[in-house]
Amino acid sequence: MDTVVVVVWLSMVVTILSRSHADRNVYPSAGVLFVHVLEREHFKGEFPPYPKPGDSSNDPITFNTNLMGYPDRPGWLRYIQRTSHSDGVLYGSPTAEHVGKATIIEITAYNRRTFETARHNLVINIMSTEEYPLPYQAEFFIKNMNVEEMLASEVLGDFLGAVKNVWQPERLNAINITSALDRGGRVPLPINNLKEGVYVMVGADVQFSSCLREVENPHNQLRCSQEMEPVISCDKKFRAQFDIDWCKINLVDITKVVMIHSNRPDPGTGVLPDIGEYNPPSESLKSRDFFADFLITLAVPSAVAMVLFTILGYSMCCRREGVIQLVHHSSIQKSTKELRSMSKNREISWPLSTLPVFSQSGEVVPPIHPDNYETTSMPLMQTQTNLQNQIQIPQQQPSGDRDNYCMSTFRRLEVNGIPEERKVAEALNL
């Protein structure tokens, strides 16, 4: 049994060693763009073949890159891989601070079909150069390119050739390339093959050409402020392949920038002064009882609430003003209830104030309230229930005979205790 375990362990060790590549050394220069492509074809032989012949090239492979001993890469080094079926690219611009220091990048390839891994190290030896830094730097924003497209050697070569044709320097280098997304740009909509855009910084050893400085004249500055394209004479030399946003071009003279910043004080070490050792609390501390604090927290608001409730109850129930307010509120509530009941039951007779004084039909008007009417619910307007005094008045027939009259019933009403005799006189004059 032990022999089988040893054989399996040895087979695993051999497998791991066979998939661990030897270190690869590269020698970029400080201040010059560094590009390293992680080719999928280079790692395919380390994974088991696909069951179907000829389909091994379709294995999805992704890469993970980090500085040895750290979870991420150095600040100057970036990595991009659009899909698991495309190559990965490491790119960046090292500075003079990294000269002479070997930077070891661990590269791990993941096969998303078999979940196998392959690993090797990339040793970056940054070299110094006499041309660093180039004093005149220009940053272009290219709208119709993505960063991985611009990193291709033939595309970057075409762009540097167009810049050299316009600038005419003796030395020209690509310093850095940055995606517009890293500058706060937004992801474009997936229509019309829109690109995210890329910033390309180049450096030269001569002054900026007149063509590059045309964007600084007031006329072009005005057009840029109005979101219009400026008029640049050399734009036609780029337009065939590169769509440059001339309003975002940035021209930097390193010599002037160094003179401006030379008067600034030297930065500190960034280390805080020693203020002694940290002394944690002792483990023998006594626990604190918060029960009394809890009672006080509840008792004080409860006592205040009880006092306010007592004062309010005394004012509303024991004093004359409070009783009047309660009676007034009760009457309003009863009136509201009566209105709601009248709106629900339309067969209940209308109040006397809404009925006509005379009946045109010649019949006696029925009683205002039926026998089963609840006398406890009084209407809003007090009606006259004494119908004993009734006067019959003559009413002319429509036939035109003035000698024939019929009697109509008239209710003798009182307003504020005074008989309304004027209504009878008006009725007799008809």
Q: CA nearest 208: which of 279, 139, 300?
A: 139
- Within 10 angstroms of residue 152's Cβ, the number of other Cβ atoms is 14
Using an 8 Å Cβ cutoff, are 24 and 121 in contact?
Answer: yes
Q: How confident is the model at residue 348, as a pLDDT?
A: 52
Amino acid making up residue 85: H
Q: Is 223 exposed, middle or buried (0-12, 13-18, 19+ CB in 10 A)?
A: middle
CATH number of 17-125: 2.60.40.2820
Best-predicted range by mean pLDDT (82-96, 249-263, 320-334): 82-96
Rounded CA separation 413/391 (Å): 11
| Bridge partners of residue 119, in order along the sequence | 20, 108
Give the count of alpha carbons within 13 A of 102, CB side only: 10
Q: For residue 353, what is the DSSP state?
A: G
Mean per-residue pLDDT of the chain? 75
Residue 63 has pLDDT above 90, yes or no: yes
Using an 8 Å Cβ cutoff, are 336 and 402 in contact?
Answer: no
Instruction: Taking residues 382-403, report their average pLDDT.
Output: 48
Per-residue pLDDT band at 92 (split at 50, 70, 90): very high
At 324-372, the pLDDT tens digits run 777 777 888 888 888 888 877 765 555 555 555 544 445 555 555 455 5
At 127-141, the pLDDT tens digits run 887 767 788 999 999
Q: What are the residue ranges of CATH 2.60.40.2820 in the chain? A: 17-125
Q: How confident is the model at residue 41, as a pLDDT?
A: 82
Q: For residue 75, what is the DSSP state?
A: T
Which helix H or strand E contains 7, and what residues bound it? helix 2-18
At 3-37, the pLDDT tens digits run 333 333 333 333 233 344 568 889 998 888 999 99
Q: Is 319 exposed, middle or buried (0-12, 13-18, 19+ CB in 10 A)?
A: exposed
Rounded CA separation 81/87 (Å): 6
At 203-241, the pLDDT tens digits run 998 899 998 999 889 999 999 999 898 999 888 889 888
Share of the chain above pLDDT 90, in %: 23
Catalogue the E-assigned strands of 234-387. 250-253
Using an 8 Å Cβ cutoff, are 422 and 412 in contact?
Answer: no
Q: How confident is the model at residue 261, as a pLDDT?
A: 45
Q: How confident is the model at residue 359, as a pLDDT?
A: 47
Phi, psi (degrees; rounded to nearest 5) at 110: -115, 125
The separation between the first and the last C-alpha atoms of the chain, rounded to the nearest angstrom, is: 132
Per-residue pLDDT band at 51 (split at 50, 70, 90): low
Using an 8 Å Cβ cutoff, are 82 and 165 in contact?
Answer: no
